[in-house]
Structure 1
């Protein structure tokens, strides 16, 4: 049987599943270097430009819970393949777009495909590798491709934009998705029997998706319209009402999108809270850093992309070392230390200046950030799925990706607003444009450092309060085994 073949050789399956995760993360950051060209090519405004990133991240984050539930109900391999197909087709549509509406809509559909890929592939990894050193190493690979996908996206985006133009960043992502689809459809990824019963929580999915859309739209619009603008305040009010409706729907639905039982196992709640804070600065980093390199330092898209290689290597190194560090120092100390290391790197990055350069201002902080980010991501992923039964593995994978993506969308909106406000005040004080722009980026990096320092303190605090049944290290307790 196919599942038996997989149990004898899980390496090929892990490679295909890691490739799927890499493609999803690549699509998050590959547009960042190309944003100036995309803005000119389709006629985007300054306020509309962040939506090229946010449309993908928001659809991805808002639908991940539904994607995870679909994987548990319909079979994880089936959902993975369908998600890759949708992802590839929408990537082609984004590359052919000639207007802001078509481009942003294609990016949203791309995020929908990603919302099926990520939880299904993570659940398959959990099924292939039982708790212990093997799962730790598999999650190390997972963290490496997740973080490296973000950094590699900047490099590939720079190369393709300079060589053939911005549409090819989307065409290349489509090609990558098709390659992964072919590999996943082969014998390497197991067919998963469906053992769960129930039905989709459509009201819950609709209310939480609309709530998150209203929230991020309000945060993004506040940058240009101001926080007291009636439209912005209306968006926040609508988001609050829809979130309240989501809570009511979840209490009454027989098969809720987010069942309370998920938070009674392991350290799921702790891991997801911290992952949301990590995600709030993750996407913003790969948004602001390439803009600083191009708009302030004057680097070309290609040179900007090459400049991300040390960051990518640091991410891969940190992901490989994370399980070993956790075994020696403990998961809580590892998470707190990694978050503080990344915060230190961001604080260092907050010293950038108009008259600086890549070697002086970007290289060192980038390496430190990459090491901290990757170790924290691997450990928080492990915490977020610790103790979860295999029948809820897809949902747990969807939840941890949801908190990271939604945290990233909200974080980018807030940090872009703060950076824009700082730049506006500096220009009002008659500072030169590049100095004003740099002041805005410094604000974004400094606030990001403060968020991560707070997350490190919260990790130590929550660890002291966790239930007695959850005091083992991440991945140390067995969970029911099942081929899914």
Structure 2
């Protein structure tokens, strides 16, 4: 890519540096809303289930309907942002997300709730890639880009834990419906601000016709994959529908790759994912999210069921991890990203997170929060924050402007699929270890209190067993970051990724 092409996105913003930083506030607010939504609804689910009369068998659809729509449509949403313009897609995504949230808050039946959650997923799939790609084309100067992605990375990483706190407060002191209604003011402020402040750089829009076969194959393939893992969690890995979903997803995604290699204007140009650096980032981010989802899941249950924490107290218990993520992202990552290659932040970051996870393998019923959970959470936050920020920046750096939306969508897709895999895989491992432990120890428990103790010990044993797997997964993410990601630091010579000039990772040009 020419220097002029690189310079255009940053230099074309007519309203200068101040405008870009104002725009970042509204982009970050929108990202916070999407990330919050992933955990805030989980806290409210028991109350909503009771109010709406949703059966135990159907309650998973409150989470699954969102996950399927969001995960399945991300690539489509990314390409729509490239086609229509990122600002337009961003504002439309916010408006639709707000309307869907209001519908969810006003739901009177289970079906109305499931529909609202699916709509949130549809508009989230348009909003998330548009937000990240706006950052990618607006911030091209190395130092500015580091700061912008530091803030974005901190929100992307820590927003889930903030969702637990906010969800706990709203459910405990107001009503579960407010976990939906709270999105409306977020969206209105972000959309109004974006409309008046964001000046999207001229050019770089993808004018090619939409790749309809690619849209259908990728959407159906990703939906089948996410649903397969969701089914595995509830119905087991050997369930006929689970297996058929996995088979269908493989067939559809292979067909998608073949179609993309042959059509003139592909939905996902293979140059985006075959680049060594981007491919390594998508893979390592996906693995890291698998490990992190296990942590959120098990620690939430551990604190509430084993320790007896309230929803609000549980949310606050996660604050050290949020603080660690913000510090790792905005202080360590931002300061070092323009000085050292990305792999020297990502690899060590994932390893520090793995050490934090390793501490949690020592969980017992009476483990001290201050002595064990606090240091583990701080290490996890610091490690993830340090790794996420350069990963998100490099995943969209050097991409042709016409591909920025779909490259951003791939970041979100790797996270969404990683979340689905993490929840299903680690939950299955934990449940199996718990069942095995209780079976081996229940015979020796004569009284009811002893039996209850064995049940709790079995649960904690299940969590720690699954966390061991999460340690290994984070170590694998670090290994991939060290071996695949070979881009030099911004400002050094570009490093070829092995696929020709177009696939090099260019140096961001300082826009004067």
TM-score by length of 2: 0.86
Which stretch shifts more, 61-70 or 296-305? Answer: 61-70
Cα distance, 1:22 vs structure 2: 1.2
Give the gaps of 5 or more residues in structure 1: none
Cα distance, 1:259 vs structure 2: 0.8
Give the alignment partner of residue 186 of structure 2, picking from 176, 190, 193.
176
Report if the CA contact (8 A) 1:119-1:394 is conserved: yes
Matched, 1:249 2:259: yes
Give the alignment partner of residue 130 of structure 1, picking from 127, 137, 140.
140
Report if the CA contact (8 A) 2:495-2:505 is conserved: no
Which stretch shifts more, 428-437 or 177-186? Answer: 428-437
CA distance in structure 2 between the partners assigned to 1:37 and 1:422 by the alignment: 29
Q: Report the 3-state secondary structure (helix = DSSP H, G, I; strand = E; otherwise coil) of the residue aligned with 1:199.
A: coil
Give the gaps of 5 or more residues in structure 2: 1-11, 443-450, 489-493, 499-503
Matched, 1:186 2:196: yes
Which residue pairs with 1:469 in the alignment? 496
Give the alignment partner of residue 19 of structure 1, picking from 29, 37, 45.
29
Give the alignment partner of residue 455 of structure 1, picking from 477, 484, 490.
477
Change (3 A) 1:108 1:435: farther
Correspondence list, 1:6-405, <5 A = 6-7=16-17, 9-43=19-53, 49-190=59-200, 195-263=205-273, 267-320=277-330, 321-405=332-416
Q: Report the 3-state secondary structure (helix = DSSP H, G, I; strand = E; otherwise coil) of the residue aligned with 2:197.
A: coil
Report if the CA contact (8 A) 1:16-1:189 is conserved: no
Change (3 A) 1:262 1:227: closer
Residues 162-207 of structure 1 show CA distances to partners (whole Å, capped at 9, x for unaligned) of 1012221111123212221122122345486674211222222222
Cα distance, 1:261 vs structure 2: 2.4
Change (3 A) 1:341 1:233: same
Change (3 A) 1:351 1:108: farther
Change (3 A) 1:137 1:465: closer
Which residue pairs with 1:435 in the alignment? 457
Cα distance, 1:255 vs structure 2: 1.8
CA distance in structure 1 between the partners assigned to 2:405 and 2:37 by the alignment: 22
Residues 284-343 of structure 1 show CA distances to partners (whole Å, capped at 9, x for unaligned) of 433332222111111111111122222211111111120223344432121110001111
Report if the CA contact (8 A) 2:496-2:505 is conserved: no
CA distance in structure 1 between the partners assigned to 2:360 and 2:457 by the alignment: 15
Cα distance, 1:277 vs structure 2: 1.1
Report if the CA contact (8 A) 2:136-2:397 is conserved: no
CA distance in structure 2 between the partners assigned to 1:336 and 1:397 by the alignment: 21
Larger radius of gyration: 2
CA distance in structure 1 between the partners assigned to 2:126 and 2:52 by the alignment: 28
Which stretch shifts more, 454-463 or 326-335? Answer: 326-335
Which residue pairs with 2:433 in the alignment? 422
Change (3 A) 1:326 1:186: closer
Paired positions, count: 479
Cα distance, 1:368 vs structure 2: 0.9
CA distance in structure 2 between the partners assigned to 1:345 and 1:44 by the alignment: 38
Report if the CA contact (8 A) 2:54-2:110 is conserved: yes
CA distance in structure 2 between the partners assigned to 1:247 and 1:480 by the alignment: 36
Cα distance, 1:470 vs structure 2: 4.6
Report if the CA contact (8 A) 1:266-1:385 is conserved: no
Which stretch shifts more, 414-423 or 29-38? Answer: 29-38
TM-score by length of 1: 0.91
CA distance in structure 2 between the partners assigned to 1:269 and 1:57 by the alignment: 23
Report if the CA contact (8 A) 2:349-2:383 is conserved: yes
CA distance in structure 2 between the partners assigned to 1:54 and 1:280 by the alignment: 17
Residues 357-402 of structure 1 show CA distances to partners (whole Å, capped at 9, x for unaligned) of 4334422211111111111111111221232122221121111111
Change (3 A) 1:186 1:397: same
Q: Report the 3-state secondary structure (helix = DSSP H, G, I; strand = E; otherwise coil) of the residue aligned with 2:421.
A: helix
